[in-house]
Structure 1
């Protein structure tokens, strides 16, 4: 019985298979050959950016859009006919249509006249295969006259502009025809006529919106347009990663650096086509997902105040004599323990497109431009002196004019006599630094004698030591195109002395911020970063989704120096701002937040945009600071290149620095406790808990 049942079942199966293969086989074969499944990816809006307090900085604005998707076998004539109909329904900007495309279009529209532009002799050569299609076409292009190009006007020119968009991408991939200034009337009339416009559709697109205008704009970066698509130099890389040619991608700074995060997950759509390429049906395979959101370390309220302060002080300083070359200033505020950049501001005076003098955002200059910074680096010089044994903590040296054979007397801005290391920092003694470096180079100062040093070795020692603070090396900030500055190219003894007081190698503002943070936190060179968190996107407005990744503090290196040495330099920085005749006391005296820091003035050469003033003598002004001294929560770097010419000028570095720190602590007071504005020292627990306890006990 079992055998019989199995026999019957197999018989039924064989009969059914025979029916499928013999009776209906040809029908199913034709059906399979008739259709083809093609999956395409549709772009989605980019992720948003928020500041550290949850304020939206970068958003997406919805736009009405008109798109075109061509079939695999759509021909030129069909696209032109559709473009001609669409040109009657919408306005299309034609200002960017190149002459070459106009010539191509003229040839398409006037095939007979275009053929007549080739001589009989040339056609004979073509028949003999001595000229190919490409060469014939090039001859036609070259012979299309300016008058014939100029004849393409009005609606015909709009047809060409639309046709260019139709032809700009792959088959079955939607191309944006128009997404800016699509009027409600245009959107409606196109929607009503879709049956007469094969391949055309109306949909919703998006545009990047920078909520705070130009504030921090150069750091937030830019995104390419749908018209420009992927930059040519990056095309192969992006195509290999699943992008389409007309995808909008980040092209600078944060938009570029976090492209993989912000770009999102494309929607997958399956198009079922017949063998001719005609779309039979469409179904969504997977819904797209907007790019992930970035929560930045920046406090936009503070950022706006800092930018306003820089602008006001630049305009004010420009009213004073000797400031003809002054055109920029930079400020960086960061948490010295975590590396979170709280404010990254830069401003530059320039011309707009109409030739009017305006103030432009130049925050990017904090990482892309470098300058001689002057005495601000003397903390690193003193610590390098300790480490090499050139000086000992508390050692006294005589501040006196140095009389070196063959050079003018070298001296501090004032002669201070017998001083120790703390006093040298307090009053910014050049001579103390020079004598430290002379000892470092195994030299000996003899009045009116030559200066003999082991310069090459000492240059290497100084630069390697400075790099441990972040000076002369990339800080690792999460932005593209960071520069490392420029080391001087010669190794003369006098230039080594200049290096010790910050008047030879050049450094960026972000390097100064990392340098002073390293001193403030007790010796950790912490990597600065602008992104605090990466979060999942959610649909609700102004709400943050779950955390995907929280950026943790990263220590790049720890100074190979004794804790008491670093504390001694911290004390010297305190004396600069708070004690006696310290170089910062006149500005910061009485500040409630107990500042510490170091001022800097560098004699430098102008290398800015005014060509007639190249290599003119100028003064660069700088200031590095941290506060409060007893328990640092914020580190600051101020840099004002080419501040003035001559021996004296406005102390714009000091006025900017004081106002910025005032703004930081005033804003902190005005907010509820633990709102995230003033980053806490406890956030650095993951770095070095031992170091934190040492700092807290100062």
Structure 2
């Protein structure tokens, strides 16, 4: 029996397939209709959201504290009016905002009005008289010029008479618009912040909906609880008008700054800008193609800058300032004629083992006002001949170069190289060894070291010498190991390295060996004596002890972000036994019979060791030359376990004045330091 063919099932399956396809297309068409008709507008907006821009909002800078955690630099909030334009804002839009803003704030102070340029006035006249202004350019002229060129030519044809006679109200509007014009799209621009009154702030805040792009917010200014104490080193920041420094614009812009950001312009504010600046709040704006802001999101929360903890005790610093200023005033007033060319007294106090700066004081006598002014920056900016204070380095250079041996003696009597003046010590001291040379400050002993380093071992009075000029560089290399004539490495934007003489004669190296040729800063001298106190280890001086993370609480310090550890720059290339001989010589200077400082420091309870110095100098006042002296003093205490070192220079004192201002300053500073240590120990107990 034959089977039947199943032809009827095929059309049914095809029909079913066609039906399913038809149903799917129907659903798709309905869905497209819904998208197009019901949600088309909202989806089109989403499509237009193609631009995301990020703007950065400034935050307060980090604070500065002294070593005892007293606030040294703080932030003071102040009212601020800012303008953040959207993209595509036109000049007419800004003028409209400026006119509305002028109803609520005053911009009529002399500084802002004086800043208005003729171009600012012409741009204002153009916007108020655009139809008339455009007619001043023919169609033929316009055809050959770009838009910007057309605009500039029109401005040129606005006459001086037309921009004269603006009312005070109009000038105020021009001043406001001038600030608005500085703003970049989606970047806040300060319009007014230094003298915004509470009334102005309240009025702006109330009418923000009528002032597109304007905001009433808070800015910060720096305040100094200790006023001008240590101000030279704290430094300053730029104003909002200045913004980032023009000479370093690309540097700052590459690091995410805006042009109107305030930055450190000097001192520690500049040195530690990267940590003091904080982290700006970053807001991402979503804008339509037309530039309208659709949404905003904080993508990076703001955080104020990190805090600096100084090595300086501000109370001790203030006391050192008072001591140095007081002694400077006394000596000038006591010897007005002899000291009419004297103006400064400088002192540096540091921990010789850690490099922590404990105080840096520079006081300047203003002869016009008769007042003493703070000039602490001179301790690292100004260099002077220090005289015999550097003889410790000379003795050690003699040991290491092999031209003398410990205990070697020379007959201290006047010396003379043919064709040059005779040189000697303040008296003929007779036979002196290295201890004697330091204790009694023998120049002649140092002269022999200098001549021998130059190859002259057979010196005779008033004879020519056989001298190798290369000895200058050799001697300087030894001095450099102590920090004399090179940068100390202090955490500060600038420091002088002093004058380096370019003549290389035997007599001048003799002068160099007693500190009367090249010049050195007070800080260099402090590092030099600290190196001797620290058994030959030269440590890097620093002003900042720690950097702390910020916290939102006023009276609390954050965790340690970075601590400045002691950094040894080098160890001088001399034996321990040789260093100990110089340490003993320095002890004898202050404490043994015949020591040049014994009269002033004998029986001092602080066990001070060091070296005195007097350098001949000359200055010109009103074209008249005066012979003067630089008085110096370097030291450390206690000499058996040094915890403090100091250097003092009082330049251009009257020659042979007989005053011991360097010792007076040094003794008072040591008294103040050890008194503060006693109080500190009492507080701890």
TM-score higher than 0.5: yes
CA distance in 2, matches of 1:144, 1:306: 62
Structure (1 or 2) with the larger CA radius of gyration? 2
CA distance in 2, matches of 1:18, 1:566: 97
CA contact (8 A) 2:113 2:172 kept: no
1:634 pairs, out of 644, 648, 652, with 644
CA contact (8 A) 2:67 2:545 kept: yes
Give the structure 1 partner of residue 446 of structure 2: 433
CA contact (8 A) 1:433 1:500 kept: yes
For residues 267 and 448 of structure 1, do their structure 2 counterparts lie closer, same or farther at Cα, with a shift above 3 Å needed? same
Q: Does 1:178 pair with 2:196?
A: no
CA distance in 2, matches of 1:45, 1:13: 61
CA distance in 2, matches of 1:361, 1:258: 23
Cα deviation for residue 564 of structure 1 reads 1.0
CA distance in 2, matches of 1:100, 1:65: 20
Q: Which secondary structure state, in structure 2, belongs to the residue aligned with residue 606 of structure 1?
A: strand
Give the structure 2 partner of residue 689 of structure 1: none
Q: Which secondary structure state, in structure 1, belongs to the residue aligned with residue 152 of structure 2?
A: helix
1:414 pairs, out of 427, 430, 438, with 427
1:547-571 Cα deviation digits (max 9, x unpaired) = 1111111111101111111111011
Q: Which secondary structure state, in structure 2, belongs to the residue aligned with residue 360 of structure 1?
A: strand
Q: Does 1:400 pair with 2:413?
A: yes
Cα deviation for residue 141 of structure 1 reads 4.9
1:520 pairs, out of 499, 518, 533, with 533
CA contact (8 A) 2:346 2:379 kept: yes
Q: Which runs of 5+ in 2 are unaligned?
A: 1-20
For residues 601 and 15 of structure 1, do their structure 2 counterparts lie closer, same or farther at Cα, with a shift above 3 Å needed? farther
Give the structure 2 partner of residue 46 of structure 1: 61
Give the structure 1 partner of residue 102 of structure 2: 87
CA contact (8 A) 2:49 2:286 kept: no
Bigger CA drift: 337-346 or 84-93? 84-93
Give the structure 2 partner of residue 291 of structure 1: 305
For residues 597 and 150 of structure 1, do their structure 2 counterparts lie closer, same or farther at Cα, with a shift above 3 Å needed? farther
Aligned length: 657
1:76 pairs, out of 91, 104, 111, with 91
CA contact (8 A) 1:88 1:155 kept: no
CA distance in 2, matches of 1:16, 1:52: 76
2:506 pairs, out of 480, 493, 496, with 493
Give the structure 1 partner of residue 217 of structure 2: 203
Q: Does 1:311 pair with 2:320?
A: no
CA distance in 1, matches of 2:347, 2:673: 12
1:259-408 aligned at under 5 Å gives the runs 259-319=273-333, 320=335, 321-350=337-366, 356-408=369-421
CA distance in 1, matches of 2:537, 2:641: 15
CA distance in 2, matches of 1:590, 1:329: 26
CA distance in 2, matches of 1:271, 1:231: 28
Give the structure 2 partner of residue 656 of structure 1: 665
Q: Which runs of 5+ in 1 are unaligned?
A: 1-9, 677-698
CA contact (8 A) 1:53 1:675 kept: no
CA contact (8 A) 1:118 1:140 kept: no
1:629-671 Cα deviation digits (max 9, x unpaired) = 1110001011122222x33353222211111111111111122
Q: Does 1:223 pair with 2:223?
A: no
1:437-516 aligned at under 5 Å gives the runs 437-443=450-456, 444-454=458-468, 456-516=469-529
Give the structure 1 partner of residue 3 of structure 2: none
CA contact (8 A) 2:53 2:284 kept: yes
Cα deviation for residue 84 of structure 1 reads 1.8
CA distance in 1, matches of 2:376, 2:434: 35
Cα deviation for residue 674 of structure 1 reads 8.9
CA contact (8 A) 1:66 1:202 kept: yes
CA distance in 1, matches of 2:238, 2:32: 54
Give the structure 2 partner of residue 604 of structure 1: 617
Give the alignment's Cα RMSD to 1 decimal.
2.9
- TM-score, structure 1 as length reference: 0.88
1:531-610 aligned at under 5 Å gives the runs 531-606=544-619
For residues 20 and 624 of structure 1, do their structure 2 counterparts lie closer, same or farther at Cα, with a shift above 3 Å needed? farther
Q: Which secondary structure state, in structure 1, belongs to the residue aligned with residue 569 of structure 2?
A: strand
CA distance in 1, matches of 2:269, 2:643: 29
CA distance in 2, matches of 1:18, 1:656: 96
1:225-257 Cα deviation digits (max 9, x unpaired) = 112110111111111111111111111111011
Cα deviation for residue 270 of structure 1 reads 2.1
CA distance in 2, matches of 1:396, 1:11: 119
CA contact (8 A) 2:74 2:222 kept: yes
